[in-house]
Amino acid sequence: MHERTAVDSFPLTAREAELAIATNLPPIDHHGEIVEHIGPDCIRIRLLFKSEYVGSEPWQDGSGRVFSGPMMMGFADTAMYCCVMAAMGRGVIPAMANLNITFLRPARAADLIAEARIVRRGARLHYLECWLRSEAASEACAHVTSTYRVARRADRS
């Protein structure tokens, strides 16, 4: 699903944002993410479930396998990177300076949804937050905050 909102002035479409993930990030950082929605300074991205994204051990209460923490952190980083790109266009280079994640509950073995937004834009630093949730649960499984340094690309004319 490649949805655009009613406002048609965002620098990138959902498809262009997906392309930015696939072209700008190394292969280890993209996994066929689907950009479902782009809004003013916000984005929603889906990571389709694959069994290799979850640990081999069942969760401590025996309720099943869950996403690995590093996979969740990487997905949140990708979502926040893409959020900056979608909001500002291809003329910027977002580089993460800081990431903090609070794991709230296990991310069950289902599609993972990231909802990221730019909280504050500074001259060089942008502050973002991202909520992660498993499609198998209604409540968030992680809250992530980050700071990105955003540089302008040099003209290549």
> Do residues 107 and 72 make contact, with C-beta atoms less than 8 angstroms apart?
yes
Q: How far apart are CA 72 and CA 24, in angstroms?
A: 19
> Do residues 33 and 45 make contact, with C-beta atoms less than 8 angstroms apart?
yes
pLDDT at 138: 87
pLDDT at 57: 65
**Angle in degrees, 0-180, between the axes of helices 14-24 and 69-88, rounded to the nearest 10:** 120
pLDDT at 28: 82
State in words which class domain 14-152 has.
alpha beta
Mean pLDDT, 10 residues at a time, the chain of 157 residues:
41 87 83 91 94 71 72 93 90 92 90 96 94 92 96 72
Taking Cα atoms as reference points, which of 142, 148, 14, 150 lies closest to residue 67?
A: 142
Domain ranges of the chain: 14-152
